[in-house]
Chain A
Amino acid sequence: MNKSIEIQSLKFGYARGEDVIDIESLSVSCGERIFLHGPSGCGKTTLLGLLSGILASSHGSIKILGNDLGAMPPAERDRFRGDHFGYVFQMFNLLPYLNVMDNITLPLRFSQSRLSKVSGTPESEALVLAQALGIGNLMKRQVMELSVGQQQRVAAARALIGKPEILICDEPTSALDHLHRDRFLDLLIDVVGTSKTTLIFVSHDRSVANRFERSVDLAALNREFRASTGDD
């Protein structure tokens, strides 16, 4: 199976000589669903920044879909991210001045390659995704009128439009109660399974780990964090 993400002896620090990430290796297959967890400060946000190409590593290599991020200039990394990643934040995922439909189709304005993967019109594609996520009836609504759970589903639809290879969800359920969290996870995993998207699901909520194919404990994986906490 092809590798979606390949990390080799990756080091990163915001200041010289003060690394916060030190990962020997991490490999994720295409279509795999990974549950990435760890306590606060273990470097989750930093790792996501590195994976998505916002941050550039100082040592080692990150290969996404076979492309070495370290070899790309920032502009190319930005475009690469727009083409191949979907991203769902913990909250406030949506642009308040666009309605639901415009929010979902927004990635297609930034990525030609994602636009080209849409079979019909952007609007019809958005509707298909929205219906799969149970928000098909909300398309013309203003996002500020939606509940948090509905907003997260709109965010998921937006992250998935144009079939990006990798979906990163950064604590997407932490603002939801258990009922909505489970419903959101059901829909997400269902949609991702259908589209064979690689899923990196970050959370500190270990109770949902069983929904994923593999769990990765970043606290154990990140040697820098282990060193700083005295290696328990």
Chain B
Amino acid sequence: MRTIIHLALRSIMNRRVTSALTILAIALSMSLLLIVERLRTGAREGFTGVISQTDVIAGARSSPIQLLLNSVFQIGSASNNVTPKTWEHFRNHPAVAWTIPVSMGDSHKGFRVVATNEDFFAHYHYQRDHRLEFASGKAFTDDHSVVVGARVARELGYTEGTKIILAHGLAAESFVKHETHPFSVSGILKATGTPFDRSLFISLPAMAQMHEAQGDRAGNGEDAHHPRDHDSHDDHDHLPGLSAIFIGTKARTDALALQREIQTYEAEPMTAALPGLTLAQLWSALSYAEEALRAVSMLVIVVGLLSMIVALYNSLNERRREMAILRALGARPWMITAILLVEAGLLTGIAVATSIALTYAALTGATGMITANFGISLPITSLSGEEWLRLGIMFLTGLAMAALPARRAYRNALVDGLTIRI
């Protein structure tokens, strides 16, 4: 056996350029799969971690998915608003620890404006335990200050103190601008990888005042999807209608009961979504993209392994004389097969090691860029059991594929005997 390994090693070393290229081809394909899998996991975690620690999201009657899309992903808009009265009711509910009210409907150069209170900065969490942090400045202190998300600041070049005007409605080029109510940037958030990077935050009274100043004339006709409950203004000290309320319960086990209570709330028709569950549902609806990614990386691996088989096959002919020599020295035909298999094993084995190195190099080099641009976080962790399993399967596949040329070599060895064929 030592002889076989010795010969296989020397044979690989002798063809070191071909061997290195083969190893590189396999290693690249393997690390592609590893990275794709990590991206996939990262994307899923980023997606499902877009809101955490919030146990229930309440909003006007629609569907949980719609409510989530609207309030967290800022896709589409709320069909209706919840009155501040209702918010007050649930804020004081015995099972509720905290709430975050959000009111949306205005925009600024294509970015959405989220009217909320300081509880957003205190209680909104993403990726399990991450909170919003300020890159500079601080939360809004009065009704004329605005906090901008990282992406907004970067794309529009805003810094602390920049004066801006918000627009009514969600269209990028809204004709109705809240010019009588200018804002000044009080703080800029750090990037989170969530849709809130693309948001501007103002206080709830600011939202209310802005629309009062405008007389909210615009809201009557051209902007039907942006209804506001003005009846409530008088009772509730300049609070606008709420698009959604993020709720944290005192005990997570209360969430289901609270959800049911909200759904059956009599004062107004409401929907309550459990974010974790709804996010998982949404992600599974998107999983075909995941499968496509995976299929592509599998194909790449097959190509990589095929290149090894081709290399082994190519070496077979020139090795027929080598086999005759070894046979003359007393080598059994299976030993010749074994040399080829050990060679394939060494090639794929080195490729596995190389792919791990390549993967970590790529992760180290690209994590910052990927997090900044795609909001996918790729923590540099050690290989998981699943990843080892995957590498193991690829290694065995390589060996199994090498069995083809090895079998051919065995037959050559039997037929050729001590005849040197060129």
Contact = CB atoms under 8 A, between A and B. Distances in A.
Nearest to B330: A82
Given A55-B417, A87-B418, A95 B325 contact: yes
Contact of B321 (A48, A92, A98): A92
B10 A97 contact: yes
Given A96-B14, A97-B10, A102-B10, A54 B420 contact: no
Contact of A89 (B6, B7, B15, B325): B325
Nearest to A99: B10
Nearest to A93: B325
B328 interface: yes
- Range, interface on chain B: 20 to 34
A110 B420 contact: no
Interface residues of A, number: 32
Contacts of B14: 96-97
B151 interface: no
A92 B417 contact: no
A55 B327 CA distance: 12
Contacts, number: 72
A82 B324 contact: no
A170 B418 CA distance: 10
B332 A78 contact: yes
Contact of B331 (A82, A83, A92, A97): A82
Interface string B312-346: 00000000011011111111100000000000000
B330 A89 contact: no
A85 B328 contact: yes
A8 interface: no
Contacts of B2: 109
26 contacts: A49-B418, A49-B419, A54-B417, A54-B418, A78-B330, A83-B330, A89-B418, A91-B420, A92-B325, A92-B422, A95-B7, A95-B10, A95-B326, A97-B7, A97-B10, A97-B11, A98-B7, A106-B329, A107-B329, A109-B3, A110-B3, A110-B326, A110-B329, A110-B330, A111-B330, A170-B418
Interface of A: 45, 48-49, 52, 54-55, 75, 78-83, 85, 87, 89-98, 102, 106-107, 109-111, 170
Interface of B: 2-3, 6-7, 10-11, 13-15, 321-322, 324-332, 417-420, 422
Closest 3 CB pairs of A and B: A82-B330, A97-B14, A54-B417
